[in-house]
Amino acid sequence: MARKVLIIDDEDDIREVAALSLESVAGWVVVTASSGAQGLARAQEHKPDAILLDVMMPGMDGPSTFRELRNNPLTANIPVLLLTAKVQNSDQRRFADLGVEAVLFKPFDPMTLSAQIASVLGWS
């Protein structure tokens, strides 16, 4: 059975490249959302196996979206990986302290993105 991943990112290009990458390289089913609020709704509706969540978004940012996901019994146990362009150590520690599975960095390599996600989550 194919894995299902929800990508929440306000940048169209990032969403499209990541979705295409996960679909074509790994054969996963991808659902996308362009905002934190839309992502919360799609997470409840589609029950993905994992969520790739952008940190910097207008309105509800990634950390706020992550907290809302954790506060909802329907989405509380879905593994979340943050996607960020912020690579400073202080930012990395702050993100890790949230309790996410991993922090992945932009720009990412579309050819290895699915392998990174699978490795972090123990998917064979």
The Cα–Cα gap between 87 and 12 comes to 22
Predicted TM-score of the model (pTM)? 0.95
* pLDDT, average across residues 53-74: 96
Instruction: Tell me the per-residue pLDDT of 3-49, one tens digit each, with 9 for 90 and over.
Output: 999 999 999 999 999 999 999 999 999 999 999 999 999 999 999 99
Question: What domains can be seen in the chain, in order of their start residue?
Answer: 4-117 (3.40.50.2300)
CB burial class (10 A; 0-12, 13-18, 19+) of residue 27? exposed
Joined together, the tokens standing for residue 23 give 């679909």
* pLDDT reported for residue 90: 78
Alpha-carbon gap, residue 92 to 112, rounded angstroms:
21
